[in-house]
Amino acid sequence: MIRGRGLEKRFGRKRVLTGVDVDVPRGGFAMVTGSNGSGKTTLLRLLAGLARPTRGELDVGVDRSRLGYLAHEPLVYRELTAIENLDLFGRLYRVPERRERIGMVLERFSLWDARHDRVSTYSRGMTQRLALCRTLLHDPELIVLDEPYSALDESGATLLDHELEALAAERTLVVSTHDPDRIALLATTTVALG
Amino acid sequence: MTYLADVVALTRKDLRIELRGRDTLPAMLLFVLATLVVFHFALPEQSGSGAAYGLLWVAIVFTALLGLARAWVPEHEHRVLDGLVLAPCDRSAIWVGKALATFAFLVAAQVVALPVFAAFFEPLDATALVGVLLADVGICAVGSLMSAMAAAGRSREVLLPLLVLPLAIPLVVGGVGTAVSADPVRFLLFLALYDGVFAVLSWASFEYVVTE
């Protein structure tokens, strides 16, 4: 599904990625590891189509309607409630049976009771769970997750463990992490940077 | 129809955020009213209506700038713009939604400001009001694009006026012309032409502004 050869990314004179190769087959689970500043986020932004490689070839086998991307930032509006955010993205992604689907993802990530609260009142962990809801709302085929465990408490992390286990069986995943042990058993490929 | 639905969803989102946060419209209202009060005392009594109309347009342009400076702030908090750009909708719908919301805020500010202008100076006739609306369309169309460009940079407060003000000069010329000229229709047509050309250019180029 993803094939990248000799990927390089520069920001001005600063070279963030150099000669990175990535191969993730359909249904695969790629774990991206590396120290701070090694280019994990940049690589994931390339895969999501938010940035273009300066050099190299990259082929991602899905269009953006079938891609779910969890960034460092939650990509949700602080002044809107969880349900308003998901309704907006559900409309833009043309999610069928939108209301039911929104209810389902909010339940899955234990946010149903806080659905009418503004995101600005959420804790970091709740915001991260809402970001996961937004990422998975349209049931994407390729899921790109940048440090999904950040800000999650132990119960949130355990919830995400179960989600990733379920998703790994039927979707293609690329996950960057500082804690490789947590997802090592699920990973079929490892991309080590830096 | 889906394009229209996307635009409606995006505009409604902006209006809802403003209703909740009240970050933009009150500031625009206060600014335009304060400016008109200052002009009322600053303008010598023997000044003609032409000077007053000119000052009105200064107030309108700078009020619009205030709104435009805030326009993309919600998208840059939490980097929501990345989320919108990734959505499979036509990216120009994001610009249309933002331009419509900014237009709504500007018109709302003018609904209060123009009667105040009429009380301090003199009322605008129907042709001049149409001129104001046409100029609003132009400044929101161009301004929303320029504001998106400026917001991507570090010094957006400095960059935005530098980008918008030169492009707003024809709108000021047209707007003042509709109020003071003996042939205002010529200026209305000029404003309509400006709106058409710059709306199409902004619509077509927005995707390149928000993607790498």
Of A50, A80, A88, the CB nearest to B85: A50
Tens digits of residue pLDDT in A83-138: 999 999 999 999 999 999 999 999 999 999 999 999 999 999 999 999 999 999 99
* Chain B residues whose beta carbon lies within 8 Å of the beta carbon of residue A145: none
φ, ψ dihedrals at A146, nearest 5°: -100, 110
**Position A26 pLDDT exceeds 90:** yes
- The band of A63, judged by pLDDT with boundaries at 50, 70 and 90, is very high
Amino acid B48: pLDDT:
79
Tens digits of residue pLDDT in B147-169: 999 988 778 888 999 999 999 99
CB A72 within 8 A of CB A128: no
Q: How many CB pairs under 8 A join A and B?
A: 72
- Cβ neighbors of B109 (< 8 A, separation 6 or more) are B25, B28, B29, B32, B63, B67
- The band of A32, judged by pLDDT with boundaries at 50, 70 and 90, is very high
Amino acid B155: pLDDT:
81
Amino acid A86: pLDDT:
98
- What is chain B's Cα-based Rg? 17
Helix axes A82-92, A124-136, angle to 10 degrees: 20
Of B5, B6, B86, the CB nearest to A64: B86
Tell whether B74 is within 8 A of chain A (Cβ).
yes
**H/E segment holding residue A146:** strand A142-146
The residues of chain B scoring below 50 in pLDDT are none
Amino acid A119: pLDDT:
96
- Cβ neighbors of A183 (< 8 A, separation 6 or more) are A29, A31, A164, A175, A177
Check: complex ipTM more than 0.85: yes
Amino acid B91: pLDDT:
96
Q: Hey, which residues does A176 pair with through a beta bridge?
A: A32, A146
Amino acid B1: pLDDT:
74
B203: Cα separation from own chain's centroid = 15
**B78 and A49 in contact by Cβ < 8 A?**
no
- Cβ neighbors of A149 (< 8 A, separation 6 or more) are A157, A160, A177, A179, A182
Question: Which ranges of chain B would DSSP assign to H, the alpha helix?
Answer: 2-21, 25-42, 49-71, 73-76, 80-86, 92-120, 126-152, 156-180, 184-210
Q: Taking residues A134-147, what's their average pLDDT?
A: 97
% of residues, chain A, pLDDT over 90: 95
Amino acid A180: pLDDT:
92
d(CA B146, CA B163): 6
CB B113 within 8 A of CB B33: yes
